[in-house]
Amino acid sequence: MPSSSSSSRPQPAGYFYRPPSQRDLRPRNPLTPPDLSGTSIPSSSIDPVRKITPPEEHSIHTDEKLVGAEDLYKQAEQYVEEYRASVKPGLGQYLSRPLEVYETPLRIKMSIGDWIKLDRKLNPKENDDPYPRLSYNAATSTLIIECMASPLHQSITSILAEQFVESKATLSRDLKRQTYVSWETTNNEFGSEWAGSRKRPDFSIKVRDASGKLKLKWVVEAGLSETYSQLFCESPQYRCPIPTTQDPQELGISLDILAIKTEEVTMEGQLGPATYKGYKWVGKISEVFMEIWVQDASGKAVRQDNREDLLQAGQLQLSFGDILPPGYPQTITLDLDEFHNVLKEEIQELAAHRCREMVIEWVKRMGDRQSDRNYQPSQESASE
């Protein structure tokens, strides 16, 4: 595990050293509501540090105020089913909305009764697909639908998870069992006005209590555009550069998905914009933030300090205080230089990913079944 003290770390000539950011993750806001017993990413209206308007109030679908509850229910159902139909094996159905619409979570006001009914219909127990995924904030009566995660989505959480796992390497087997990490595990243990909510954090740490039961204590949210506001700030906001009526082949873009190579994506700067075949597929990533939430002794969700800007430091030192069991290292140090290098590669992959999605949609619209590698004509059609 990297040392928690960076003063002994040699720095190359010309390197302007910025001391690693120190963050004490122990709860310091005992009066912060609400009372939760599980994963909680609450409305920012309870945040004692940064007052912002919850996106549930300003990011609701633009048609919501013009339609009734029944229409909103049907709208959400149709949105999910359309996307699922488009990603079926083979050609599937082409998207009825621009691709960039599905990259951004859709938020719709909905009663908890309608949410329960919709969840039962769209999320059967036998469904193991991670996307689309539905979350519900009972405190604001808001349904959040996320259809896809971009290649940038888990870039920081993967590095954080690796560091935490490494920090446990020298612990005894019994001590290692006192904590558990998970990725995108759905949680629904919410209390008070959050009862009935469901949330799936990007990365979380659970700690065993005195009875041996695992309790959620630490949550990380990161991504292109998450529930509360953009954690990755892309400028300008992405819009597919190719019209839906434009044949990609006329622009030099192959209809063979495997021919669209990540290494052929050109970066105009260290963090974008990223272009392929002369078209911009990713804007410049100007800011990358990480938010960390913890659960205090009373079960209340607390976000510690302000967001961390991950592009402005070479290291980030996290102090867990007394959240972890005795015997655990109380700090971990993230090497953000490694994150910066990974981020560049992920931006290139995101550009190639978006271009491939554009080609897939074009092929669906044109009905070019020959592009489906699994397609084999039947004997009857072959003899006609």
Reported as half-sphere exposure (CB side, CA atoms, 13 A), residue 53 has a value of 6
Selection from 335, 300, 6, 359 nearest residue 159 by Cα:
335
Rounded-to-10 torsion of CA 179, 291, 134, 150: -100
pTM beyond cutoff 0.75: no
**Sole residue written with tokens 């990609």:** 248
pLDDT tens digit sequence for 60-78:
444 444 457 788 999 999 9
Is 107 inside any structural domain? no
Is 40 inside any structural domain? yes
Q: Say if CB 156 and CB 339 are below 8 A apart.
A: yes
Is 238 inside any structural domain? yes
Is 192 inside any structural domain? yes
Is 66 inside any structural domain? no
**Is the confidence at residue 33, as pLDDT, over 50?**
no
pLDDT score of 52: 28
Q: Count how many domains the chain has.
A: 1
Is 158 inside any structural domain? yes
The parent domain of residue 41 ranges over 21-45+149-366
pLDDT tens digit sequence for 248-291:
999 999 999 999 999 999 999 988 999 999 999 998 888 787 77
Is 256 inside any structural domain? yes
pLDDT score of 299: 67
Instruction: Write the single-letter amino acid at 61.
Output: H
CA distance 185 to 178: 18
Is 289 inside any structural domain? yes
